[in-house]
Amino acid sequence: MSNLSVSERLHEAAAPIWAKCLSHPFVTGIGDGTLDVEKFRYFMLQDYLYLFDYAKVFALGVVKARDPELMRIFAGNVESVLNGEMSLHRSYMKRLGITEAQVLAVRPALDNLSYTNYMLSVAGVGTPAEIVASILACSWSYAEIGQALARIPGALEHPFYGEWIQGYAGGEYAAANAALIELMNDLAKDASEAQMRDLTGIFVNCSRYELGFWDMAWEMRV
């Protein structure tokens, strides 16, 4: 058995993929302020649609939970996504002159659909631990990206991309992500090696989807 915690094992497994996310031209373009605004506009539209399904994955956690406290945790995260994280997107949509009705008329790209359908499939057949494993790859990788970009001189003050970096590098987002890491460790603390392989597979798959999402946004795929 490994001496690493559950979350440390997941992080170690996904580290090579996350390194590619951090060095992705879309991400570095946000950090140095050179990203084409049209690419960012496309990304925010697709990410807004993604977050509706992301919230549904948390909602399936409410269904799968067997004790009230875990139900409250999952329900709290549904609220946090719909009225917290998505507020950043709504702020950018206002700046870009996009209404929510216009967003909802956008078709999700195939990469987006594949990713969310995978998470919803995991949540539909899996345990609460597997649900968190599918969710955590997105949350944790964005926390790492936000913190990395915040260390670039002037990035937080950029007149356009600074708000995005502040959102994912901020203390509120970091605390929410830390709570998910703690939940992952708690739910899988007694996992067998076979169960750990399953959780790791889910986490790595979702990390691969995260990298694919950056590719999708960079290429503005349909």
The active-site residue, picked from 138, 144, 157, 206, is 138
Catalytic residue status for 138: yes
Of the candidates 55, 107, 41, 105, the one whose C-alpha atom is nearest the C-alpha of residue 85 is 55
Strands (E), the chain: none
Catalytic residue status for 79: no
CA distance 185 to 118: 22
Contact 20, 10 (CB under 8 A): no
Beta-carbon neighbour count of residue 107 at 10 Å? 11
Place of tokens 């939940």: 183
Place of tokens 């990390």: 207
Supply the residues annotated as catalytic: 138, 210
